[in-house]
């Protein structure tokens, strides 16, 4: 029987998304100020594409930040992006009236994502919120890990997922076929907020590329009400950076529960060099 191999060599991340959602949509003046700041930042980091997004295009097929305790309302937005020669997305920044997301398919290490957060995401969130961390409703990290295998040697899911994993039904681990597994739950539920965890595992036919196994991980911190974000006392930039680092640590811990020891070693999940998976 075959094995699952990470699609990106030293790591498995095909896409990473960091996003922040506010409790309320901002007015025209603040939105335009955020667009101007985003435009200047996009020029600096080589995001030449500019696309106006209507609410429907944001709602369907886009990476949007979870609504948290708020209603899911969509507003027009602006997309700044860079595409690869084959037309696929490399990096993109999306601005809405109540959310900002940065998506990359050029992941190398977590330190690079920290740079996107500090240099791009935080300045725009600061502009939209007027430096008020009490307006932040959700801070969210998404990672999509991909593995591939030969169609001739279709591996069992147990070649990817550890046999003692408590996140996947045990009767599925011996299967070597296309499947979808979804797990989701809330942690740290209190009067001030909660944490959301979503794990989605899909095994599909990748056509010419063989069997594709994808693991989507969504980790978000959701504030229950405006005014404070989990009683945080520091600056907005400190809050956003600290929460993303915490979500990243939770992501690694969940993958350690999920992946076999061999796969973890192959993507350097526990490595401390800053290279590899994270």
Residue 39 near residue 93 (C-beta atoms within 8 A): no
The rounded distance, in Å, linking the Cα atoms of 30 and 151 is 52
Helical H segments across the chain, by residue range = 28-44, 55-59, 110-116, 122-129, 236-258, 261-266
Q: Which residue has the higher pLDDT, 166 or 273?
A: 166
CA-nearest of 81, 98, 79 to 31 is 98
Residue 60 near residue 41 (C-beta atoms within 8 A): no
Q: Tell me the HSE value of 27 on the side-chain side, using a 13 A CA sphere.
A: 2
Find the Cα–Cα–Cα–Cα dihedral 42, 77, 140, 266, rounded to 10°.
-60
pLDDT tens for each residue of 183-214? 899 999 999 999 999 999 999 887 666 888 99
Which range, of 34-43, 99-108, 200-209, 255-264, averages the lowest pLDDT? 200-209
pLDDT tier for residue 156 given thresholds of 50, 70 and 90 = confident
Q: Which residue has the higher pLDDT, 272 or 138?
A: 138
- What per-residue confidence (pLDDT) applies to 208? 67
Average pLDDT, the chain: 88
| Token pair belonging to 217 | 């991980």
Domain ranges of the chain: 5-266
Q: Which residue has the higher pLDDT, 165 or 123?
A: 123
């Amino acid at each position: 029987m075959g094995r699952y191999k990470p699609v990106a060599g030293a790591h498995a991340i095909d896409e990473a998304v960091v996003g922040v959602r506010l409790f309320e949509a901002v007015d025209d003046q603040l939105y335009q100020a955020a667009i101007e700041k985003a435009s200047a930042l996009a020029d600096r980091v080589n995001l030449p594409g500019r696309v106006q997004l209507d609410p429907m295009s944001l709602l369907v097929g886009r990476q949007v930040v979870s609504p948290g305790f708020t209603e899911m309302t969509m507003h027009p937005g602006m997309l700044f992006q860079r595409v690869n020669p084959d037309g696929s997305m490399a990096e993109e920044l999306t601005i809405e009236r109540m959310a900002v997301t940065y998506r990359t398919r050029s992941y190398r290490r977590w330190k690079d994502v920290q740079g996107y957060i500090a240099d791009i995401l935080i300045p725009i969130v600061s502009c939209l919120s007027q430096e008020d961390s009490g307006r932040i409703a959700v801070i969210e990290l998404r990672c999509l890990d991909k593995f591939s295998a030969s169609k001739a040697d279709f591996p069992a899911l147990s070649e990817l997922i550890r046999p003692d994993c408590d996140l996947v039904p045990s009767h599925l681990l011996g299967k070597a076929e296309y499947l979808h597994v979804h797990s989701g739950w809330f942690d740290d539920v209190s009067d001030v907020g909660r944490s959301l965890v979503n794990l989605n595992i899909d095994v599909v036919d990748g056509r010419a590329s063989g069997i594709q196994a994808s693991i989507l991980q969504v980790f978000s911190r959701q504030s229950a009400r405006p005014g404070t974000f989990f009683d945080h006392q520091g600056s907005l930039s400190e809050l956003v950076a600290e929460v993303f680092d915490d979500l990243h640590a939770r992501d690694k811990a969940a993958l350690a529960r999920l992946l076999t020891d061999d796969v973890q070693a192959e993507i350097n999940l526990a490595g401390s060099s800053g290279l590899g998976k994270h």
